[in-house]
Structure 1
Amino acid sequence: MTMTKYTTSKHIVVYADDDPDDVELVQEAFEQFASNVEVITFADGSRALSYLRNLTEADLLPCLIILDVNMPVLNGKETLLRLRQLHKYDNVPVVLFTTSSMPVDRQFATHNNAGFVTKPLGFEQMEMITHSFIDHCSEETQKKIRRMGS
């Protein structure tokens, strides 16, 4: 993904994951909301953080940030910790998205004010999980996304 700034009226979801299959799964799952949601993907947390750090006051902040826990360069947990130091993202929901079902990972997410979603086995589950992702957004954003997606 290039580091192009987006001038769109769509809600932006930032998704960092190094697994192309998972990226494709999430993008396909959000297609039902394509008229109102744009998913911007990054192969690791470092690239996602760089993009987020470079957003200006004029840029639309993402409505949701999804981070894979296990990524090269900068994993999801480290990315979350660094993101929590950027105060302009205090009100942007973050979800750790992982194959892990370890209680310690869930506790880490909770402790750092993030959601925790376990990766699905297939697309059918992914559609349900996409609704769970959207549930982490503000109520107003949820309504806008769902209204446009239906």
Structure 2
Amino acid sequence: MRTFSVPSVLSVLSVLLWSCSGDELGLDGTPGSYVVTADCTGAETFVEGMEVTSTGGYIVALASASPAPPDVGDNTWTLQIRTTDGPATGLEVRLRPWMPLHGHGLSPATYAGTEVSDGTYDIEMFDVIMPGLWEFKVEIGEGDEAVFPLCAAG
């Protein structure tokens, strides 16, 4: 049987109690406050209607986002996809949110897009789980994608 001395037990308890107290300085240097700044290096500035070109040549516009800009919590998007000839209809569209600095995405991994009018696709609601840089990959069919690198500030 292992025995512990009263002074060593009291030392451990005092360290534990001190570490759990609310008087320590937060990350911004003020007592009890905790400000976490998301690392968004590499993110583009969100602008409603921003466009990227897919690897297969589709022009993908982020027509609307709620919240805008995208943030931690529930998000809904509407995308407009076109070619140089006009709206791209009848596509299989998915959104795959990916956090490159942490090496993970969301669960489920992809969120379906439903065509609501010619070339306009609503993405089912997805829950961004943490602040930071996210690569929102729009997958079009098999092997084609467009990427929106955006910051979820939290």
TM category (shorter chain) comes to under 0.3
| Greater Rg by CA | 2
What is the TM-score of this pair, normalised by structure 1?
A: 0.25
- Larger relative CO (CA 8 A, sep 6+): 1 or 2? 1
More helix by percentage: 1
